[in-house]
Homo-oligomer: A and B are copies of this chain.
Amino acid sequence: MDFSTLYAKRALQLERSAIAALKDEAKAVPGILSLGEGVPAPELFPVDELSHVAAQVFKAEGRDVLQYGDSLGGFGLRQHLSQIMTKYGIQISPDAIQVTSGSMQSLDMAARLFLETGDTVLVEDPTFIDAKNCLTMTGATLKGIPCDDEGMDLDLLAKALQEDSSIKAVYVIPDYQNPTGLCWSDQRRRQFMELVSQYNVIILEDNPYGEITYTGEYHKALASYDTKGQVLFMGSLSKTLSPGLRIGWVATQQTIITQLSLVKECADIHSSLPDHAIAAGFMNIYSYDDHVSSMNKVYKERRDTLVKGLQNKLPDFTFTVPEGGFFLWLALPAGLNEYEFFQYAIKAGVLAIPGTPFFVKPQKQGFVRLNFTGLKPDELTEAVSRLADAYQNMIK
């Protein structure tokens, strides 16, 4: 008997992402090179260090971390996270930090706390594809606001905020966004906060990539310009330490954290405390900052390899060089369809993700998203050659 007729409406809105299906299609191709994933380089994981720390943590703190504990997460870890946030110009107490199971859960919990049917949430257009699923799961409606190279278009944002009283939240990724790789300018950040501070709306600031910087600079977070307590800053260790450990966090004003921790208790009581202690232990013994900078050095080389390859081999394609993060957003020559390009690319042995699914209202937009952190330089060079082959085959 098919009990799937009993699904809640919210769960029926969830469809397996178009990207997942494309990835599966590509996986079947032998020897394919993937620019499609958004993954850190596994060879950079500090496995020996974490092995050492993990053994220590279970031996020394086992009775504590294996037990039920604080729903906010391990205190030692929250102290380190509070320290990391100073890089973004934010001073916050460890008690105003809710540790989550990755940035994804931060967004899911924040969405469940604030959004419901009848609410509208504004997002950058295009935006993080999983965020679309997660936000609409609440029953809220998504509206996309386009961005330029400096960030969200403030005229369009102002117009939306003025005209639509159902807007309850704005979800943005100002630092090296997924999928575009773009980073908001400091001026745009300040102006954005000035504008939204005139409205009773929550700002969901997702920042999983802020530490992956190729200029060595950190940008001041939107939260650092927050005078009213309306920003929920969402950080993550997935891109810097490990996605598998699933460590993210939400930092915001204390009242909101208190209510958010009730959502957390409902969701899973608390996240894995051994993992929190292992991450904190790593930061106690080794230099997290050194780990991140040596990681960034490797990623910068990969970014440069990709950029150089594209400039040489695909001069008809255009893009902005990403100054951080995992992605490059490639514009196809006018009139070219990115799904068709995807098909030619997998035939040539390379996976590049069509940009369409990242838009709020999918239209053929002529973009593909390229990840450059998961492949080594020689693989990236080869991948670009294959993209060039694909392009040649497509237009001939």
Please state the number of chain copies in the assembly.
2
| List of B residues within 8 angstroms of A59 by Cβ | 47-48, 51
Contact between A68 and B39 (Cβ–Cβ < 8 Å)? yes
Count the A residues whose beta carbon is within 8 Å of the partner chain — how many? Answer: 88
- Judged by a CB distance under 8 angstroms, whether A104 is at the interface is yes
Give the residue name and chain of the B residue nearest to A262 (CB): B14
CA distance A104 to B63 in the complex (A): 21
Q: Most chain-B CB neighbours within 10 Å: which of A4, A259, A266? A: A266
- Judged by a CB distance under 8 angstroms, whether A270 is at the interface is yes
Contact between A7 and B114 (Cβ–Cβ < 8 Å)? yes
| List of B residues within 8 angstroms of A50 by Cβ | 58, 62, 66
**Within A237-265, which residues are at the interface with B (CB < 8 Å)?**
238, 242-246, 253, 255-256, 259, 262-263, 265
> Can you report 20 residue pairs joining A to B where beta carbons are below 8 Å apart?
A1-B230, A3-B202, A4-B259, A5-B200, A6-B114, A7-B113, A7-B114, A43-B63, A48-B59, A50-B62, A54-B55, A66-B245, A101-B267, A104-B266, A108-B267, A244-B272, A244-B273, A244-B274, A245-B274, A246-B271
Encoded as 1 (CB less than 8 Å from any B CB) or 0, chain A from 272 to 283 comes to 111100100000
A45 touches which one: B1, B10, B63, B113 (CB < 8 A)?
B63
Contact between A102 and B269 (Cβ–Cβ < 8 Å)? yes
**Within A102-159, which residues are at the interface with B (CB < 8 Å)?**
102, 104-105, 108, 112-116, 119, 130, 133-134, 137-138
Give the residue name and chain of the B residue nearest to A270 (CB): B246
Contact between B114 and A11 (Cβ–Cβ < 8 Å)? yes
Give the residue name and chain of the B residue nearest to A4 (CB): B255
Encoded as 1 (CB less than 8 Å from any B CB) or 0, chain A from 190 to 205 comes to 0000000000111000
Closest 5 CB pairs of A and B: A47-B62, A51-B58, A55-B55, A54-B54, A101-B268
Encoded as 1 (CB less than 8 Å from any B CB) or 0, chain A from 10 to 21 comes to 110011100000
Min CB–CB distance A24 → chain B (angstroms): 13
Contact between B130 and A265 (Cβ–Cβ < 8 Å)? yes
CA distance A7 to B54 in the complex (A): 39
- Judged by a CB distance under 8 angstroms, whether A163 is at the interface is no
Contact between B55 and A102 (Cβ–Cβ < 8 Å)? no
CA distance A270 to B275 in the complex (A): 14
Min CB–CB distance A55 → chain B (angstroms): 4
- Judged by a CB distance under 8 angstroms, whether A396 is at the interface is no
CA distance A270 to B9 in the complex (A): 22
- Judged by a CB distance under 8 angstroms, whether A297 is at the interface is no
Encoded as 1 (CB less than 8 Å from any B CB) or 0, chain A from 48 to 89 comes to 101110111111001111111100000000000000000000
- Judged by a CB distance under 8 angstroms, whether A94 is at the interface is no
| List of B residues within 8 angstroms of A48 by Cβ | 58-59
